[in-house]
Structure 1
């Protein structure tokens, strides 16, 4: 072959080739490990420098790793050295960070977010931070833009109203048109929401409301969802009258949007605004919208409806007629018990069970209300739900339901308690045991409870599970074991002395001896 005649002359004897390659690697390694005096000198600081002067020196001339140390200690430095650090360190930092590599820009951005949250900057310092943030938002690095966007939004909360009105809002009001790309419209929506509480001028407020309404009608669903999340901030800033007149229609249209992401955002935000709306608005607008949602039963947002149904009923209970209440509890019943409901929908139904009970079982007609709204059927189904997440959610709120029902808790909840306490899933058992004492205290408010042998069955079941975890699970689940033992302190108020001395005390001594 032709290759047999090629002379592979590498300039080294074959026997010394390995030695040469090894020597080259060692040389490269030594260059990394051993620094010149000039390189070492860059890391040496004058010991006479105070902490503020040292930070300034490092920001201007320090190596990247030294600048990271300044970023990590910035919050503490501003707290300890006060006005001096604010007037000397912050301007140097804001000047240097524009030329720093992206990783350092992100590190300083995170530090400034903490500084702003703790209100450690002066008004002029905040203005300089805002200007720097706007400059860094033009960077190509997405992570840098994201961090410094949060810096700017945080600074807006504390900037003077005049600065926000003249330097922040006008610039971003022009970036809401459809001619702008979606990312710019998204960012404009976030800024408008952050700036709204700082605006005092009625004229600018009206301009902001018009722009917000325009973004609620945007062709991009992500922009509509983002603007929806900022509407609450604008609503509270402009007041109830302007909100009802100019923004309530936007809320309703967003709730009925074609995109489920937008609908969920709108439902969540209008629920967070329920304390803001007057009763007439709830009666005339919000309750009818919820009825329309229940009639439609959109599959994709059913978990969202299930999650917010309890708070909705609680906030609107004074405005709901008995017929309205029954309509919504029937909807709740269908979500909880239907074989077609998804696991996450039923989980939210279990989460809201205490709220539903609270809204329906008031006064002395607990049993009648509980059964007429078919909550007994819901409770029974949820305690046997095939999803452990559903059962765990229900178990976690059982003590709240028992407290709400008071002396009626024993009648309606004892079977469910035994079922959940005997659950094979550790998460379910843990959720019940953490508040077992509170549940039992509610049970014994019923005089029939102390005379019922089923109360003894509950104690025996508790001791059986305690013996099980003390014997087999104490090493791996010692926190669960401890949680159950903590509940034993209420047992003398719940169970008779014969049961305590005959069963509880011997078990305790046995555990002390064996574990």
Structure 2
């Protein structure tokens, strides 16, 4: 009787062996789908000592059967005794993760990821990491050199995650050359994805060899990418390259990185220039504003005076951002004159952008700074012989009145507008009417009635039809009739 009991206890494994050797694939598949039931019948100890070794040693089946097995094992934690014994599931899943069929490997990896969360930190280190590292690397090497650029792109895009997963030694020995190859890839999309990871990759390098690896292996590739033929590659690099300064330190930044920054600051692609200017604060922290200004200022001035007006326009649009990063003292000393010079540019689009730039600068530095630094220079243009420049004064007043507030507008800017109502050029006079309409809401009601209204009424009787029209419109809008 005892012998019969013993035979019965072996029955589930015997049946499973028999069914998995059957020629009928569907029968074998059905057997795999019953694994949880068989495991329950066996109990946790026999599942660990008999069922899992059997499954590990007999993984040679049809892909459909292997796929079902990979999925089943991801739900086996409690059937082997809970998290304490979950590492017993690693051998069969490791074997499944190396089979030829992609869907099986993917499912095995999915199950591995699932049970990884059920490992204790100690078990992860002792059991899981030694399994994953040799399983990761051959596949990773192949993927980094895959014939399909989309595969290489995905490797580049996930490179930082891979770096963190494999640790410092594998990073030094395997990932550094792989990353170099991705930075030199023949496809622009792959180079761009890799370029975007340059800072993060360098940050996560082992500290004891970080500088050597960057200077010897990464920086030469970066230098090539600065002059890449594809603007998306250059733009991706420009968005992160400034961050290398905090990693490499002052001397390396001055000697090796600044020339690259300046080259990108002159790039024909606006996005490249913007990405460099947007991250100047990283470099400022490392080498200081004085050193930065000595290298940066000539490039900014060169862009500001470029013969192509669109280049000048681009640097104007970056100026508020640049001013905020470099500070008010540097701006007043080095860049203020540039901003004023743009107000008298021969291209209207530049003058218009320069006016908008002043408003943004006042928003950044404050009304008091504007009163002391900007407003006097703007108002001085009201006496310029060129009527276009006199009109620019009015455009600036329109933009500045709102950010400067009532007191500065009433005390300093309004008298100049009134004076310009007598200008000999009709275009200036009707722009006075438009300016009064624009700044009217900033003024108090007494000023509107006693000072603004008489001037507009005078302009409403002007001989020029346009002056009359805009003056009457201003009176109507400001309810001064």
TM-score norm. by structure 2 comes to 0.50
The aligned residue for residue 382 of structure 1 is 342
Query: 1:489/1:379 Cα in 2 relative to 1: closer, same or farther (>3 Å)?
Result: same
User: Structure 2 vs 1, CA of residues 256 and 390 (structure 1 numbering), >3 Å: closer, same or farther?
Assistant: farther
What is the match of residue 316 of structure 2? 350
Give the corresponding residue for 1:440. Answer: 404
- When residues 288 and 346 of structure 1 are mapped into structure 2, their CA distance, relative to the original with a 3 A threshold, is farther
1:399 equivalent in alignment to 2:351:
no
Shift, 1:408, TM fit: 1.7
Contact 1:335 1:346 (C-alpha < 8 Å) held by counterparts: yes
Q: 2:334: which partner in 1?
A: 373
CA contact (8 A) 1:382 1:390 kept: yes
Partner of 1:491: 443
165-174 or 179-188, larger mean C-alpha shift: 165-174
Are 1:310 and 1:352, in contact at CA under 8 Å, matched by a contact in 2? Answer: yes
Instruction: Tell me how far apart the structure 2 counterparts of residues 160 and 254 of structure 1 sit (CA, whole Å).
Output: 38
User: In structure 2, how many angstroms separate the alpha carbons of the residues matched to 1:186 and 1:507?
Assistant: 60
Contact 2:434 2:474 survives alignment (8 Å):
no
**Residues 1:384 and 1:191: Cα distance change in structure 2 (over 3 Å):** same
Change in Cα spacing, 1:488 to 1:300, as seen in structure 2 (3 Å) is same
Are 1:306 and 1:345, in contact at CA under 8 Å, matched by a contact in 2?
no
Return closer, same or farther for 1:411/1:508 CA change in 2, 3 Å cut-off: closer
Larger Rg: 2
Query: Residue 374 and residue 189 in structure 1: after superposition, are their counterparts in 2 closer, same or farther (change >3 A)?
Result: closer
Distance 1:436 1:496, change over 3 A: same
- Residues 414 and 351 (structure 1), Cα distance of their counterparts in 2 relative to 1, 3 Å cut: farther
d(CA) in 2 for partners of 1:243 and 1:414? 55
Contact 2:180 2:221 in 1 (8 A): no
Deviation sequence 1:177-224 (CA, Å, 0-9, x none): 2x634343223212325x348737445655444422332233555432
Cα distance between partner residues in 1 of 2:192 and 2:402: 42
Residues 53-102 of structure 1, C-alpha deviations (whole Å, 9 max, x = no match) = xxxxxxxxxxxxxxxxxxxxxxxxxxxxxxxxxxxxxxxxxxxxxxxxxx
Q: Please give the alpha-carbon distance, in whole angstroms, between the structure 2 residues aligned to 1:176 and 1:184.
A: 7
CA distance in 1, matches of 2:254, 2:407: 36
Q: Structure 1 regions of 5+ residues with no counterpart? A: 1-133, 139-155, 471-483
Deviation at 1:228, TM superposition (A): 0.7
- Within the candidate set 159, 170, 177, 1:192 is matched to 159
CA RMSD of superposed structures (Å): 5.4
Cα deviations across residues 133-175 of structure 1 (Å, max 9, x unaligned)?
A: x86xx9xxxxxxxxxxxxxxxxx9xx87959985988644421
Per-residue CA deviation, residues 255-311 of structure 1 (Å, 9 max, x unaligned), is 44342434443222223x36xx53x73522334445424776896546456424543
Alignment pair present for 1:510 and 2:476:
yes
Q: 1:362–1:508: structure 2 CA closer, same or farther, 3 Å change rule?
A: closer
Deviation, structure 1 residue 388? 5.4
2:228 to 259, 268, 281: 259
Structure 1 contact 307–352 (Cα < 8 Å) conserved? yes
Any conservation in 2 of the 1:354–1:400 contact (CA below 8 Å)?
A: yes
- TM superposition score normalised by structure 1: 0.48
| Kept after mapping to 1: 8 A contact 2:183/2:190 | yes
* Contact 1:190/1:227 (<8 A) preserved: yes
- Secondary structure of 2:197 counterpart: helix
Pick one of 274, 286, 300 that aligns with 1:307: 274
Residue-pair matches, total: 326
1:268 aligns with 2:234: no
Structure 2 gaps of 5+ residues are: 1-101, 118-127, 458-471
Partner of 2:298: 330
Select which of 376, 380, 383 maps to 1:411.
376
1:136-147 matches, within 5 Å, as none
Cα-to-partner distance string for 1:444-483 (whole Å, 9 max, x where unaligned): 39x9x6398426458999995596699xxxxxxxxxxxxx
Once residues 349 and 394 of structure 1 are traced to their aligned partners in structure 2, the CA distance between those partners, rounded to angstroms, is 10
Q: How far apart, in 1, do the equivalents of 2:169 and 2:296 lie?
A: 42
